[in-house]
Amino acid sequence: MTIRQHYLFVCNNRRPDGAPKKSCQAQGSIEVFAALKSAIAEAGLAQEVARCVQTGCLDLCDDGPVVLIEPDHLVYAHVAATDVPEIVEALRSGEPVQRLLKGAKSSEQ
């Protein structure tokens, strides 16, 4: 088993339609997961650098879709599939995507 440098946990929690609390899946996390998984593989990062996995609720429902990156302890909030190229580049450079970090002004919507 290969231990990667980074693990990207994409919340794919789904709540019933009409639930008072948001869910990442209802906000597009399935598309984010698919785009991340594909882009990481296409960039040649999947074998040693990064692994993208689905997870249940990360208790950040109002910030969804969210991506938790470990062991960096980074949380990207309000992630869209269009953000994926920047996230992949950040994995290469080691510099986080500041605008997506939970608490960054552009991620607080």
Q: How is the beta sheet containing 6-11 ordered, strand by strand?
A: 50-55, 6-11, 67-70, 74-76
Residue 15 resides in a domain:
yes
Residue 77 resides in a domain:
yes
Residue 84 resides in a domain:
yes
Residue 103 Rama label (left phi>0; alpha psi -120 to 50; beta): left
CATH code, domain carrying 99: 3.40.30.10
Alpha-carbon span 56 to 93, nearest angstrom: 28
Alpha-carbon span 68 to 106, nearest angstrom: 17
Residue 56 resides in a domain:
yes
How high is the pLDDT of residue 86? 98
Beta-carbon contacts of residue 40 (< 8 Å; ≥ 6 apart): 8, 46, 49, 50, 51, 52, 88, 91
| pLDDT above 90 for 105 | no
pLDDT digits (tens, 9 = 90+) for 28-45: 999 999 999 999 999 999
Is there a contact between 52 and 36 (Cβ–Cβ < 8 Å)?
yes
Whether the model clears a pTM of 0.85, i.e. scores above it, the answer is yes
Residue 1 resides in a domain:
no
Residue 29 resides in a domain:
yes
pLDDT digits (tens, 9 = 90+) for 44-56: 999 999 999 999 9
Number of separate domains in the chain: 1
> Domain range spanning residue 15?
6-107
44-48, 71-75, 103-107: lowest mean pLDDT where? 103-107
